[in-house]
Amino acid sequence: MTFHSPTKPLVLYLAISCIILSFTSFKPKTEPDVYVVGSEDRSAVYWKNGIKTILATGPGDAIASNVYVDGKDVYITGYTRDTTGYGTAKYWKNGKEVVLSDGQTMAMACALFVSGKDVYVVGFEWNGTNNNRVAKYWKNGKSIDLTNSPEDAIAYCIYVEGKDVYAGGFEENTYKENTPVTIGKYWKNGRTTSISTNDTCTSMIMDIYVSHGDIYTTGYAAEGKRQVAKYWKNGKAVNLTDGTYDATGTSILVHNKDVYVCGYENGIAKYWKNGKPVTISDAKPASSASSLFIEGEDVYIAGVEYTGKYAVAKYWKNGVETQLTDGKSDITIYATLIVK
């Protein structure tokens, strides 16, 4: 799969879900707040417990791509684009806009991580000299390039553990029959690791998670004519699907030594626990799972179903769905985060 539109990689309806529940012997179990971010009618929007708030509108389109909650602070990444097609990478903290790029080219903020007082935002910015996208992250607003080649690259995900900064995405490597080949890569403190064993076959990293120094990534790699959903632990691949149908892993985490991945196979939303698949939705013609989080024994999955003209945003708790939109408007859901 080759991405040339800044939003096309995100049509996977990426979502990252985080649920934190708390209780004491004196208080009943509290219900979490559910945040969903995306775009609706060309505006960047988010929903908190089903109530929509518009973050930004035109004059071009605007997108909210991801969300992160740190204590009482809510961070949402994305971009706004003017009528010339130029996009400004930015994030919103509690609704207040923080601009990361100058708006003189195309740039986008894809994800965010907060560590202590530091805010890390990952994404890309267009390089007019080489006419390519440069994968990068911003630390407290300061731009740090992850790639410096003339090839196209995007970083979709970021994770910080201690003093180490991890990011994942892709960088184009070569051309096969005049088609760009994207190679899934992750970066640790700027040092690159490719997850592909064949630089002539397309691969992609969509999410990254770090547990006790072990690096887990998920996405897909092409085998034959199909995309195989996989996860990698420290670069070693584990196949989640057999290549009969196209499939992608979109979100990964580790909980009590169990590895959870969500995504889709053949247009069917699924998650895998230690490689064993569980179908979330078989809505026709298609569905996709974008994010997951585990709290205790509860499995939360976020995604979309296509049953009509427009997608319907939903999340599932242990298989029980909650519908967030009515399918009557043009929406794209990119990420969710659930917190107490």
Point out the least confidently predicted range of 1-15, 46-60, 145-159, 277-291: 1-15
- The third-level CATH classification (topology) of the domain covering 33-286 is Methylamine Dehydrogenase; Chain H (2.130.10)
pLDDT of residue 334: 67
Examine the pLDDT at 278 and tell me if it is beyond 60: yes
Q: Closest by alpha carbon to 185, among 162, 151, 153?
A: 153
Examine the pLDDT at 184 and tell me if it is beyond 60: yes
Examine the pLDDT at 337 and tell me if it is beyond 70: no
Higher-scoring residue by pLDDT: 309, 114: 114
**Sign of the C-alpha dihedral computed for residues 11, 185, 216 and 271 taken in this order:** positive
Residue 162: phi and psi, rounded to 5, are 65, -125
Examine the pLDDT at 4 and tell me if it is beyond 60: no
Tokens of 41: 């009618």
180 burial (CB, 10 Å; 0-12 / 13-18 / 19+) is: middle
pLDDT bracket for residue 326 (50, 70, 90):
confident
Determine the Cα–Cα distance for residues 28 and 246; give it in Å rounded to an integer.
44
- The answer to whether the CB of 171 falls within 8 A of the CB of 149 is yes
Q: Which residue matches tokens 């997108």?
A: 63
If DSSP codes are grouped into helix, strand and coil, which group holds residue 56? strand
Nearest 10 degrees: Cα torsion 212, 112, 123, 246: 70
Mean pLDDT of the chain: 86
pLDDT bracket for residue 19 (50, 70, 90):
very low
Tell me the residue length of the chain.
340
Whether residue 285 is preceded by a cis peptide bond, meaning omega within 30 degrees of 0, is yes
Examine the pLDDT at 246 and tell me if it is beyond 60: yes
pLDDT of residue 250: 95
pTM: 0.87
Q: What is the mean pLDDT of residues 100-127?
A: 96
Side-chain-facing half-sphere of 38: CA atoms under 13 Å: 32
Which of 24-33, 218-227, 292-301, 331-340 has the highest mean predicted lDDT (pLDDT)? 218-227
- The answer to whether the CB of 291 falls within 8 A of the CB of 302 is yes
Terminal-to-terminal C-alpha distance of the chain: 37
If DSSP codes are grouped into helix, strand and coil, which group holds residue 122? strand
- The domains of the chain are located at 33-286
In angstroms, what CA-CA distances link 27 with 19, 24, 30, 46, 107? 18, 5, 8, 29, 46
Side-chain-facing half-sphere of 23: CA atoms under 13 Å: 10
If DSSP codes are grouped into helix, strand and coil, which group holds residue 144? strand
Examine the pLDDT at 126 and tell me if it is beyond 80: yes
Determine the Cα–Cα distance for residues 239 and 326; give it in Å rounded to an integer.
35
Examine the pLDDT at 53 and tell me if it is beyond 60: yes
pLDDT bracket for residue 40 (50, 70, 90):
confident
Determine the Cα–Cα distance for residues 313 and 92; give it in Å rounded to an integer.
22
pLDDT of residue 164: 97
Determine the Cα–Cα distance for residues 241 and 212; give it in Å rounded to an integer.
27
Determine the Cα–Cα distance for residues 102 and 128; give it in Å rounded to an integer.
13
pLDDT of residue 315: 84
Examine the pLDDT at 240 and tell me if it is beyond 80: yes
Examine the pLDDT at 329 and tell me if it is beyond 60: yes
